[in-house]
């Protein structure tokens, strides 16, 4: 899994129907407690907000965090870091 | 997921039969609102056009965005960023 | 698989319910016997502790090391290097 | 998916029995129409030859392009770029 | 798939029970016939030894090369390069 900071909401009016209703967030990755120049776009399973430090699961494991596991995504926020 | 800008169509006359009829697009990845030097080739599920900013899902999750989920791809455009 | 050194515990009170009870560790990757600047967050299947050198499996294979294979993770510690 | 140029054949007499009979090619990746310093080894589903520009699918999607989908590979050439 | 050179054996007394009996090898990746600074840890399906040049399959496809496909790994040596 990866650590990151939520930096924005992504608005997409024209999107795949299986993504309708999903909150889409931009996350800046953190390594060794420092913000990097790498970014990922992720769905949310824990109610994360802008500025919070989060854990991300990528790949097929990400979908296991969602109610609808056929959502076409590859990254989901699975925790807020205390 | 990743963000990118559609920069071209890929034409492939000789291709795997399971890709026949698929629109194949070249996407330049965007990170932190800037275009990078990284590129991906992706199929399209939302009617994306050249110059549009898009969201890409990679890996097995990409195929969940397609009508035919046995299409041999690893990247699909799943949204147009407003 | 990857080699790394466990460098910390991640505490996440608000997390996906399928992660409740999982030990979440931060691992600094090692290549060619040297510590790198790359980090991963992983679950544990072998009782690893801070400072130990470990083997990590990533992706869908990681979950095969867990009792509950529907845990939404993409990295699990599968061995301690002697 | 990725774009690349086929640069060689890989000969492997001692290989996993599930790979016997597979053509194994080395591909130099191309980004933004320029050859990079990144290489992948891939199987072939379209009759690609040395010097041709090709499309590669990676991961589990690669195997969907093969007749035998239990072939232990993670990259398959799925098209020749015109 | 990736090419590499086997550079060592990894000894892990405390490991996931599903890895007991597996030979675990460290592989230095090779690109364009030159050894890189990237390393992977892999299981073996072909009897590879130290110093041999090998082909590696990563991800879910790696496990297709093993007798026990529920082995928690993400990289397996699938061929020796002649």
Question: How does pLDDT run across E22-54, given as a tens digit for each residue?
Answer: 999 999 999 999 999 999 999 999 999 999 999
pLDDT for res B36: 96
How confident is the prediction for chain C on average, in pLDDT? 97
Q: For residue range D8-35, list pLDDT tens digits in order.
A: 999 999 999 999 999 999 999 999 999 9
Query: What is the per-residue burial (b if ≥16 Cβ within 10 Å, else e) of C16-46?
Result: bebbeebebbbbbbbbeeeeeeebbbbbbbb
**Chain Cα centroid distance, residue C65:** 11
Nearest to C3 by CA among E12, E76, D72, E20: E12
- What six digits make up the tokens of C75? 């990295």
Q: Quick one: CA torsion of B17, B23, B26, B29, rounded to 10 degrees?
A: -110
Q: Are B44 and B25 in contact (CB under 8 A)?
A: yes
Q: How far is B64 from chain A (nearest CA, A)?
A: 5
Other CB atoms within a 10 A radius of the CB of residue E44 amount to 19
Measured between alpha carbons, how far is B40 from E68 in angstroms, rounded to an integer? 34
Among the partner-chain residues D10, D15, D37, the one whose CB lies closest to the CB of E32 is D37
Q: How far is D65 from chain B (nearest CA, A)?
A: 5
Among the partner-chain residues A1, A31, A47, the one whose CB lies closest to the CB of C73 is A1
Domain of E62: which CATH number? 2.40.50.220
Percent of chain C's residues with pLDDT above 70: 100
Q: Which of D43, D65, D69, D71 to probe the B interface (max B CBs under 10 A)?
A: D65
Quote the domain boundaries for residue E32. 2-80
Q: For residue range B1-37, list pLDDT tens digits in order.
A: 999 999 999 999 999 999 999 999 999 999 999 999 9
pLDDT for res C38: 96
CA distances from B11 to A26, B21, B22, D41 (A): 32, 11, 10, 23
Q: For residue range B37-48, list pLDDT tens digits in order.
A: 999 999 999 999
Give the pLDDT mean for C53-72.
Answer: 98
- Chain C residues touching residue A31 (CB < 8 angstroms): 37-39
pLDDT for res B53: 98
pLDDT for res E71: 98
Flag if B72 and D60 touch (Cβ within 8 Å). no
- Chain E residues touching residue D39 (CB < 8 angstroms): 3, 31-32
pLDDT for res A16: 98
- The pLDDT confidence band at residue A47, using thresholds 50, 70 and 90, is very high
Flag if B72 and D65 touch (Cβ within 8 Å). yes
**pTM listed for this prediction:** 0.97
Q: For residue range D30-70, list pLDDT tens digits in order.
A: 999 999 999 999 999 999 999 999 999 999 999 999 999 99
| C-alpha Rg value of chain B to the nearest Å | 12
Give the pLDDT mean for B49-66.
Answer: 98
Among the partner-chain residues D2, D31, D82, the one whose CB lies closest to the CB of B12 is D82
pLDDT for res E35: 97
Q: How far is D66 from chain B (nearest CA, A)?
A: 9
- The pLDDT confidence band at residue E79, using thresholds 50, 70 and 90, is very high
pLDDT for res C25: 98
Residue E11: exposure state from Cβ atoms within 10 A (0-12, 13-18, ≥19): exposed
- Chain D residues touching residue E63 (CB < 8 angstroms): 72
pLDDT for res B69: 95
- The pLDDT confidence band at residue A65, using thresholds 50, 70 and 90, is very high
Look at chain D and report how many structural domains it folds into.
Answer: 1
Flag if A82 and C39 touch (Cβ within 8 Å). no
Measured between alpha carbons, how far is E41 from C24 in angstroms, rounded to an integer? 22
Flag if D81 and B40 touch (Cβ within 8 Å). no
Interface size between D and E, measured as CB pairs under 8 A: 80
Flag if C15 and A62 touch (Cβ within 8 Å). no
Query: For chain B, which chains pass the contact test of at least 3 CB pairs under 8 Å?
Result: A, D
Which residues, including other chains, have CB under 8 Å from residue C60's CB and lie 6 or more apart? Answer: A59, A60, A61, E59, E60
**E41-44, long-range: CB within 8 Å, 24+ apart, which pairs?**
E41/C1, E41/C2, E41/C3, E41/C55, E41/E10, E41/E75, E42/C1, E42/E73, E42/E75, E42/E76, E42/E77, E43/E71, E43/E73, E43/E75, E43/E76, E43/E77, E44/E76, E44/E77
With an 8 Å Cβ cutoff, the interface of chain D facing chain E consists of: 10-16, 18-19, 24, 26, 28, 37-42, 59-60, 62-63, 70-75
Q: How far is A24 from chain B (nearest CA, A)?
A: 9
Percent of chain E's residues with pLDDT above 70: 100
Among the partner-chain residues D47, D55, D63, the one whose CB lies closest to the CB of B41 is D55
Flag if E73 and C82 touch (Cβ within 8 Å). no
Measured between alpha carbons, how far is C28 from C44 in angstroms, rounded to an integer? 14
- The pLDDT confidence band at residue C16, using thresholds 50, 70 and 90, is very high
Flag if A76 and C73 touch (Cβ within 8 Å). no
Give the pLDDT mean for E4-29.
Answer: 97
- What six digits make up the tokens of E11? 């000894």
Q: Which of B6, B7, B9, B14 to probe the D interface (max D CBs under 10 A)?
A: B14
**Chain Cα centroid distance, residue D7:** 11
């Amino acid at each position: 899994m990866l650590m990151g900071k939520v930096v924005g909401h992504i608005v997409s009016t024209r999107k795949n129907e299986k993504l309708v209703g999903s909150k889409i967030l931009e996350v800046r990755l953190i390594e060794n407690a420092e913000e990097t120049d790498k970014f990922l776009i992720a769905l949310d399973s824990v109610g994360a907000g802008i500025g919070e430090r989060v854990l991300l699961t990528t790949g097929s494991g990400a979908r296991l965090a969602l109610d609808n596991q056929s959502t076409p995504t590859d990254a989901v926020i699975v925790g807020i870091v205390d």
